Structure 1
Amino acid sequence: MADTDTDSVKTGEDLGSQLSDLTLEQLRALTEQTSHDIELAKTELDMLEKYGIKLEPKDQGAQPTGDMKVSSAESREQSRGRHRARARNTFEKLHSLDVEQKFIIAQRELDDIKHDLGKLHQNSERVIQNFKATMEESEVRWTEIKKAVYEFERDIGKEIKQTSTPITVDKVMRYFEEKNRSRDMLTDKLRLKTAALKVQKKKLMLQMKQKEEMGEVLHEVDFQQLKIENSQFLERIDERNQDLLQLKLTAGNTLQVLCFYKEKLQNMMMESNRLVKEISLRQEMLQKIEGETELVEEERAKAESLNKKLQKQLSDYRVPHVFEYVNEKIDHGDLEKNIKIWERKVELAEMSIKTYRKAWNQMKTSNTQMPVFIKFHAGKSGN
């Protein structure tokens, strides 16, 4: 024991002297290499522990229960001691194993991991298939719901929008009864189709039995090929159904757009007729305005000619002298007096003419009565 201690002391001193001789870069490289070796040893140790746990019997770790109660601190110390002892034993076993044994252990661990991954992959595939089936069923159900909503909007909702009168409950109930009746008919068809498929399945099973008896058994590759073809045909059928549904929806949308444009065309025709009438009225008004414009132009030409004359007179006008103005004013006053005198004379002459005319009329009447009187007296004297 003392010899081993002295040897370890000597090796420690030799290692210290060797480390003191190394440079900083060499120490860094040595540290990295040592860390890598430690990590590799930890990995091997963990793998060996897992392998040892798998090989240990299940009841080995069971501890007998006694009447004495152990404190939590003591139990922790015991567990730490057991873990250290197990790690020490594992480390000793790891050093005692050769490379081939380590390879066998690593290969078994790798096989176990691959097996676990395969199980996990199978479970994941199963879950994915379930989710895909659920999504396909949801999509089919959603397309059926959209189709039902579209048909309801086409049959009932459109009538509600177009007519102001409310739809009766009987009509809605009749619509749903027709839908239920059509669904029942579809169910009957599917039931008959299922029965026919069952009969066909029985026939195929009989044919399979006959082929098995005759030795004409299909291989698994043929079944896989048939499954692939069946899935391809089902996908094509689903695509065609989706295309048909899309075409129906497109046709419905096209009809709605066509009705909208027809209504818009009718409104535009009414607007066009109104605009034609308004244009004719505006043209008549324009003709009247043009006639009035011509009259105004003529009046404007006359006014311009008159304005030119007045402008010419204004330019030719000369202001008289003051004395001339006074003389003209005096002459104007004399003329007004003479006018008044003559007007008085005219009035007197008119009065005399009236008297003369009256006397003349009286003379006329007297002259017409005298011959009649003379004839009357002459007739009497003759008798």
Structure 2
Amino acid sequence: MAEVDSDSQSEDRPPIYEFEDQQLLDLVEELSRSNATIKAETEVFERYFSRIDPKDLLPQPLAEQPLLGLSAQEFSQFRGRRKSKSRSMTAERLVRLTVEQKCDVAQRELEEMRDALERLKEGSERVLSNCKATIEESEIRMCELKKASYEFDRDIGRSMLERKGVMMGAEKVIRYIEDKSRTKDTLIEKLRLKKAALKVQKRKLQMQLKQKEEMGEALHEVDFQQLKIENSQYLEKIDERNQDLLRLKLLAGNTLQVLNTYKKKLQNMTSESNNLTSELLSRKEMLMKIAAETIQVEEERSKAETVNKRLRGQLSDYQVPNVLEYVTGKASHSDLEQSVHIWERKVEISEMALKTHMQTWNKLKMANGKALDWPQLAILPQRQ
């Protein structure tokens, strides 16, 4: 396409000596872009033809020829047409590719580049996996060495440090090394058995893979086309299921939001119900207290009414004495109080005399050394 455009443009253009400087610069820039495009196409074609089997270059029927009118000799001329500038326009037109053929070549080259990138990616992943495995193995070995060093210091080194100046028996060290060696041998045997089992499993998987490949070689292109059709149908069904799944996920998300909202409302209502229940219980207790206080107040009121009635009755029956009687009673009351005071004073004097006589009597008892019976005396009434 680039050559056709350049040829048509070169036929329509005037001679170069008639161009101005700016036109010459534009022409040089355009030719540079065209040369870069042709160079890229040439590199793509060379990579493509370098991978083609020479048998594919033999003449084929017209319906099956990928390159229209292109024989083996013309193909060799096509590869060297950039080097030979003296080839005629008729021969060049015979070896030119159509747009469909160029698209096919570019598509195949793109697929090849994708395959190469995929292979490079797989190789890089293998290298990365190997590096990760090496790092993990190194870390495991480092942990094992640290553990072995710690155990040796714990079992042997610490006792050697504690017993300075005393020769450590070589038998203990040899026994320790032999125990560790037996442990390593046991671990090696286990790993060997595991490796053998993995090899057997690998061999079985390789045989199964080989059988599947042999069975796949017996398949025809019609079967592959049928498989492609079924694959496309299944992909459509998978897309439909994915759409349904997405719709169900959205519905489930909305339902979950509504459920969370109702859960929050239920939690709020439950807390409010608990608060109301506790408040109702407190109100009931308050009502019971009020009822008990009401009963108590009623009883006190009835008692107060009874006392009030009795006092009112006494007040209604009360008669005030005469003044002379009141004065006489008051005088007799004062005389009685004075007589009581006098008698209390006499009792105090008698008690003091009794105490004095008791002390004298006790002294006489101590002096005679005999137990004398004191006559029974009447206990005088004491003053309150």
Calculate the TM-score normalised by the size of structure 1: 0.35
Q: Which has the higher contact order (CA 8 A, sep 6+)?
A: 1
- Which is richer in helix? 1
Structure having the higher Rg? 1
